[in-house]
């Protein structure tokens, strides 16, 4: 049944492909902090990136966390970027 809710399009910020949530790592900004958010329990502005090193490197190179989340705490961004690289 149509609920009127818009379906969320999830797009990788590294390669711009769309896919299901299970294929992506979700990063969420909540209360001024960034979280890698695999269970979506943390609410907030979020972005997605494929679970592969190339996409994560693209994300970092293009500064997509700052851009997509409008977030300017670069120390915090670097911490999360380092964590992302450990996941793949």
Q: Residue numbers of the site for Zn ion (CB under 5 A)?
A: 12, 14-15, 50, 55
15 or 85, CB closer to Zn ion?
15
Taking the complex as a whole, how short is the minimal distance between the CB of residue 72 and Zn ion, in angstroms? 24
Q: Which is nearer to Zn ion, 17 or 30 (CB)?
A: 17
Q: Which is nearer to Zn ion, 11 or 33 (CB)?
A: 11
Q: Are 18 and 10 in contact (CB under 8 A)?
A: yes
| Cα angle: 62, vertex 84, 51; to 5 degrees | 85
């Amino acid at each position: 049944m149509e609920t009127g809710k818009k379906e969320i399009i999830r797009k990788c910020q590294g390669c711009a492909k769309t896919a299901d949530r299970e294929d992506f790592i979700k990063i969420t900004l909540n209360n001024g902090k960034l979280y890698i958010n695999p269970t979506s329990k943390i609410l907030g502005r979020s972005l997605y990136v494929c679970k592969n090193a190339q996409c994560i490197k693209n994300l970092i190179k293009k500064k997509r966390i700052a851009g997509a989340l409008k977030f300017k705490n670069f120390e915090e961004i670097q911490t999360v970027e380092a964590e992302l690289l450990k996941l793949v």
